[in-house]
């Protein structure tokens, strides 16, 4: 099929077309499910990179400054509109206050403005999505959630216009709270607390998603135990945005299946064939 012909057909047509042998989709869980259903009658192979609710776990021996810095970039980069954004901060109670004090001050100082003015944080991608983020946060307020900072729609600092949402940190949430369980896809960080290593792992694995995660600790043995126990596709230690094109990227559970990047990403576009030859005459 020529590139011109491909350009004239819709994504839905691609998903249903029996001539397509491999599809890779990045987007929401609901759309990914639709793509899989469209492709199923032709048994078309799929790589699905879907939603996330990725955790940053910080143990009591972690450096609060480093944890706060990691959480800041994990959730406020691109206004939180990244599938692998670190939208959950899971902290040992011993460092909770120190981390939140640092993170709260940094979040309050963020300047929102037009992307071409080099702001600290840019706009939400549409007015509709801005309303969805606001609805999530308003619902959390209605449940009595403790907002450390932010929590409302804002505007470009220079023009007074635009689709912006304040950098928001919601503290001390229970595991079943919708702000923990649902992907908000905006600059909204959900904070959870723990006392033991097992509890931290349980909280990290306690959503339908499993894209990426990070672990902050000075104990290498603990870091490797926790990283191995988390049901997700990628884990970084004492950093959040780690790894480049050479590392496979993708999720488990409702974050999708298959991998992009690395050699594993290329494997999706190949087929293995076994050929045997008898040496009998």
Q: Which residues are catalytic?
A: 49, 83
Exposed/middle/buried for residue 205 (C-beta within 10 Å: 0-12, 13-18, 19+): middle
DSSP H or E stretch at residue 77: none
Paired with 154 in beta bridges are 164
Number of other CB atoms surrounding residue 141 within 10 Å: 14
Say how far apart CA 185 and CA 252 lie, in whole Å. 18
HSE-up of residue 264 (Cα within 13 Å, Cβ side): 13
């Amino acid at each position: 099929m020529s590139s011109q012909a491909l350009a004239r057909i819709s994504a839905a047509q691609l998903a249903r077309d029996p001539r397509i042998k491999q599809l890779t989709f990045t987007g929401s869980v609901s759309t990914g499910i639709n793509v899989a259903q469209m492709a199923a009658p032709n048994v078309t192979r799929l790589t699905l990179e879907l939603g996330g609710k990725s955790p940053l776990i910080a143990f009591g021996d972690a450096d609060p400054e480093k944890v706060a810095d990691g959480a800041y970039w994990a959730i406020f980069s691109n206004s939180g509109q990244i599938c692998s954004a670190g939208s959950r901060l899971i902290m040992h109670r011993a460092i909770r206050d120190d981390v939140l004090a640092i993170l709260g001050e940094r979040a309050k100082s963020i300047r929102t403005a037009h992307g071409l003015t080099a702001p600290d944080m840019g706009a939400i991608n549409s007015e509709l999505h801005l309303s969805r983020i606001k609805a999530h946060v308003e619902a959390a307020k209605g449940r009595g959630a403790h907002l450390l900072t932010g929590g409302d729609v804002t505007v470009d600092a220079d023009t007074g216009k635009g689709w912006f949402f304040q950098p928001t940190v919601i503290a001390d949430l229970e595991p079943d709270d919708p702000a923990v369980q649902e992907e908000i896809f905006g600059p909204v960080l959900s904070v959870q607390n723990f006392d033991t290593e097992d509890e931290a792992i349980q909280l990290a694995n306690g959503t339908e998603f499993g894209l990426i995660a990070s672990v902050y600790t000075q104990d290498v043995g603990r870091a490797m135990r926790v990283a191995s126990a988390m049901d997700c596709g990628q884990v970084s230690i004492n950093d959040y945005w780690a790894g480049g094109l050479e590392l496979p990227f993708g999720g488990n559970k409702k974050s999708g299946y298959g991998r992009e990047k690395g050699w594993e990403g290329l494997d999706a576009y190949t087929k293995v064939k076994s050929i045997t030859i008898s040496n009998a005459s």
